[in-house]
């Protein structure tokens, strides 16, 4: 009888240790992913685009998520590597539900098309971006983007800055809300 009790305790111990190992490894994988994303965003902000892209691709190697690939596309765009930009955007679309990366993906797709001279396609994608963004987030720069779109006359450097600013503001607001449950997405703060 005592031998069976010891076996049960050993089996439960091994099972608990296995569970703990799996739980810790998935947490550490997410921590590595999150660290690479945060470091990459800081490098992107500082203008170190090659290093930023490297960190986003490391994050993508840890966890294949649209966010890392869309950010790698952004760094590639800033490096004038349109082929890599298009590749990472396509991979981001296939990597799963885009979530907060939707606007980055759509905005940079429009920019690529416009930059490659595919004006009609680019304006169509830009229109979809504008309509979706306006429903999700109130940006003080959207009227300027919408004006360019309606006129069909795009000042590409200005549009690049505006889209970059919009998607960054949106992603920052979403990050803030997910951590604090406050900010522009807090529906309770808008009640009268």
pLDDT, one tens digit per residue, over 29-39 is 669 999 999 99
- Interhelix angle 2-46/49-62, rounded to 10 degrees, is 160
Is residue 128's pLDDT more than 70? Answer: yes
Contact between residue 111 and residue 81 where contact means Cβ atoms under 8 Å apart: no
Is 120 within the bounds of a domain? yes
Residue 189 belongs to some domain of the structure: no
The verdict on 88 and 122 lying in the same domain is: no
Q: Which of 74, 97, 120 is the last residue of a domain?
A: 97
- Classify each residue of 116-146 as buried b or exposed e, where b means 16 or more C-beta atoms within 10 Å of its C-beta: eeeeeebbebbeebbeebeeebebeeeeebb
Mean pLDDT computed over 158-165: 97
Number of domains making up the chain = 2
Whether residue 98 is predicted with pLDDT greater than 60 in this model: the reply is yes
Distance CA 101, CA 68 (A): 9
> Is 130 inside any structural domain?
yes
């Amino acid at each position: 009888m005592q031998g069976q009790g010891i076996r049960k305790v050993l089996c439960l111990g091994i099972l608990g240790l296995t569970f703990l190992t799996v739980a810790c490894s998935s947490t550490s994988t997410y921590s590595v992913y999150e660290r690479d994303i945060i470091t990459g965003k800081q490098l992107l902000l500082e203008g170190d685009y090659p290093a930023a892209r490297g960190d986003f691709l490391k994050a993508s190697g840890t966890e294949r998520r649209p966010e890392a690939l869309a950010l790698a596309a952004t760094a590639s765009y800033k490096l004038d590597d349109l082929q890599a930009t298009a590749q990472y955007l396509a991979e981001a679309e296939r990597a799963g539900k885009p979530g907060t990366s939707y606007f980055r993906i759509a905005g940079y797709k429009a920019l690529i098309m416009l930059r490659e001279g595919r004006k009609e396609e680019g304006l169509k994608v830009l229109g979809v971006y504008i309509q979706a963004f306006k429903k999700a987030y109130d940006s003080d720069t959207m009227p300027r983007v919408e004006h360019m779109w309606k006129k069909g006359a795009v000042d590409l450097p200005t549009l690049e800055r505006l889209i970059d600013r919009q998607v960054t503001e949106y992603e920052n607001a979403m990050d803030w809300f997910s951590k604090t449950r406050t900010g522009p997405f807090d529906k309770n703060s808008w009640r009268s």
